[in-house]
């Protein structure tokens, strides 16, 4: 007798072995505490660019909101419940947008691309939430001469470097970010055999509310962001992503942030916008 899908349970390929454990489906006997997991060091930097440059990479159903500010965030995470206490690092790159649909109107962060250094969150986040995740090697940040050095590479080719130093002056850009309602993503799945067509193409949205998140401390900072242009042989499957970001004009730095947090959520509140 063949197996049947259980209603309300999350599956991933291969589905033949039952519902899949992950960040949104932790085993009932696992010790999970969303007020403490994950523990995170967050290092971010932002810059002002040209609106026309961002519009070329913004989906048709979204419009730029406010100033065209690009933010890069390094999330160094440990003590993650759904990984049985292990950790990994992710990078998020986003800019502010508004979605005006038939039912929904939302202003938030358009998550243009993410990188992570572990396959498990990439697979689960892409398929279940719609997060645009790619793989990268992301070592721990290095702190020297008062500056945090954060880098990302792929098979030895370093394509991103962010440098952040503490300051006593808060950034207006960081204040504006607090007014955003959440994170918007374009979930896209190609249709097998009908190349160039989509099986899924939808805007998903994760609300910003995270009741179990505690910010232990946060410090304003100054920072720089540098993408290194790549050839096809350097980054065979994502040189087009890195080069598009490297070509964004940097008109001015727009603040940075260093923070320590604990707690989070599973992103089960993510929904499709219409």
Per the domain annotation, does 38 fall within a domain?
yes
Beta-sheet strands, E only, within the chain: 39-48, 62-64, 69-78, 88-100, 105-116, 133-135, 142-144, 147-154, 157-166, 182-190, 198-207, 214-227, 252-262, 271-272
Which tens digit of pLDDT belongs to each residue from 81-133?
999 999 999 999 999 999 999 999 999 999 999 999 999 999 999 999 999 99
Q: What is the pLDDT of residue 175?
A: 53
Query: How close are the terminal C-alpha atoms of the chain, in Å?
Result: 39
Within a domain: residue 101?
A: yes
Look up the domain containing 170 and give its range: 32-272
pLDDT for the residue 31: 87
In a domain, 1, yes or no: no
| pLDDT at 179 > cutoff 90 | no
In a domain, 71, yes or no: yes
Domain assignment present for residue 211? The answer is: yes
Residues 119-178 have pLDDT tens digits of 999 999 999 999 999 999 999 999 999 999 999 999 999 999 999 999 977 665 555 565
3-class SS at 102? coil
- What sign for the dihedral angle of Cα 133, 137, 138, 140? positive
88 — phi, psi (to 5°)?
-160, 175
Whether the pLDDT of residue 195 is over 70: the answer is yes
User: How many separate domains does the chain show?
Assistant: 1
Q: List the CATH number of the domain containing 152.
A: 2.40.400.10
Q: Is residue 250 part of a domain?
A: yes
Residue 4: inside a domain, yes or no? no
**What's the rounded Cα separation, in Å, for the pair 182 and 37?**
20
Question: What is the predicted pLDDT for the residue at 181?
Answer: 97
CA angle 39, 75, 259 (to 5 degrees): 70
244 pLDDT above the threshold of 70? yes
The dihedral of CA 52, 56, 58, 59: what is its sign? positive
75 closest CA partner among 146, 127, 131, 128: 131
> Does some domain include residue 17?
no
């Amino acid at each position: 007798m063949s197996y049947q899908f259980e209603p309300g349970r999350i599956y991933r390929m291969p589905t033949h072995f039952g519902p899949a454990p992950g960040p949104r489906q932790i085993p009932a006997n696992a010790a999970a505490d969303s007020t403490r997991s994950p523990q995170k060091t967050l290092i971010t930097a932002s810059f002002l660019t040209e609106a026309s440059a961002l519009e070329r990479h913004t989906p048709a159903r979204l419009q730029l909101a406010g100033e065209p500010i690009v933010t890069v965030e390094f999330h160094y995470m440990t003590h993650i419940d759904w990984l049985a206490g292990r950790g990994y690092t992710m990078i998020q790159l986003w800019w502010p947008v508004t979605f005006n649909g038939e039912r929904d109107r939302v202003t938030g962060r358009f998550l243009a691309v993410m990188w992570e250094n572990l396959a498990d969150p990439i697979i689960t986040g892409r398929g279940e939430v719609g997060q645009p995740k790619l793989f990268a090697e992301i070592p721990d940040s290095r702190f020297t001469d008062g500056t945090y050095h954060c880098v990302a590479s792929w098979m030895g080719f370093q394509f991103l470097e962010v440098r952040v130093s503490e300051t006593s002056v808060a950034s207006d850009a960081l204040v504006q970010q607090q007014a955003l309602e959440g994170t918007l993503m374009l979930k896209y799945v190609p249709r097998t055999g009908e190349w160039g067509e989509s099986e899924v193409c939808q805007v998903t949205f994760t609300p910003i509310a995270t009741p179990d998140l505690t910010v232990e401390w946060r410090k304003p900072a100054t920072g720089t962001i540098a993408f290194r242009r790549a050839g096809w042989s350097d980054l065979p499957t994502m040189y087009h992503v890195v080069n598009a970001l490297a070509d964004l004009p940097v008109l001015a730095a727009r603040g940075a942030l260093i923070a320590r947090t604990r707690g989070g959520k599973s992103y089960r509140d993510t929904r499709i916008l219409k």
